[in-house]
């Protein structure tokens, strides 16, 4: 799944801090899909059958909660900017991931 989305992310964010944040968000989103997939097997249920809105929210929450801001930069202004970018980019990435999952399960 991850490989399908890399060109889209690179096109949307070609360089700089936004690109690094987007790639980190994509990695965390991929991690979330593996966790959900493992839970699905363990519980023998289809967790992807949750509504797309709920899945996007859970993915976005996971990304935001596990994002390591120290890997992007430091400084007061940069930290504030990074927080805003993480919110925006994680929303976009989670939507991209869920739409891709839905497309693949059809």
pLDDT of residue 1: 53
CA distance linking residue 87 with residue 92, whole number of Å: 9
pLDDT of residue 31: 93
How many domains are there within the chain?
A: 1
Domain coverage including residue 33: 15-105
pLDDT of residue 76: 76
Inside any domain, residue 1? no
Inside any domain, residue 82? yes
- pLDDT tens digits, one per residue of 19-71: 999 999 999 999 998 888 766 555 544 555 567 788 889 999 999 999 998 88
CA distance linking residue 51 with residue 55, whole number of Å: 6
CA distance linking residue 6 with residue 17, whole number of Å: 16
Burial of 15 (0-12, 13-18, 19+ CB in 10 A): exposed
The average pLDDT across 2-31 equals 90
CA distance linking residue 1 with residue 31, whole number of Å: 11
pTM: 0.82
Name the one residue in this structure whose structure tokens are 């996971």: 62
Inside any domain, residue 21? yes
The average pLDDT across 74-85 equals 82
pLDDT of residue 81: 86
């Amino acid at each position: 799944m991850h490989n399908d989305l890399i060109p889209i992310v690179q096109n949307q964010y070609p360089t700089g801090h936004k690109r690094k944040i987007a790639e980190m968000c994509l990695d965390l989103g991929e991690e979330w899909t593996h966790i959900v997939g493992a839970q699905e097997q363990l519980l023998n249920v289809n967790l992807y059958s949750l509504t797309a809105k709920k899945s996007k929210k859970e993915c976005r929450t996971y990304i935001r909660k596990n994002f390591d801001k120290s890997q992007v930069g430091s400084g007061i202004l940069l930290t504030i900017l990074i927080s805003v970018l993480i919110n925006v980019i994680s929303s976009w990435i989670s939507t991209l991931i869920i739409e891709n999952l839905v497309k693949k399960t059809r």
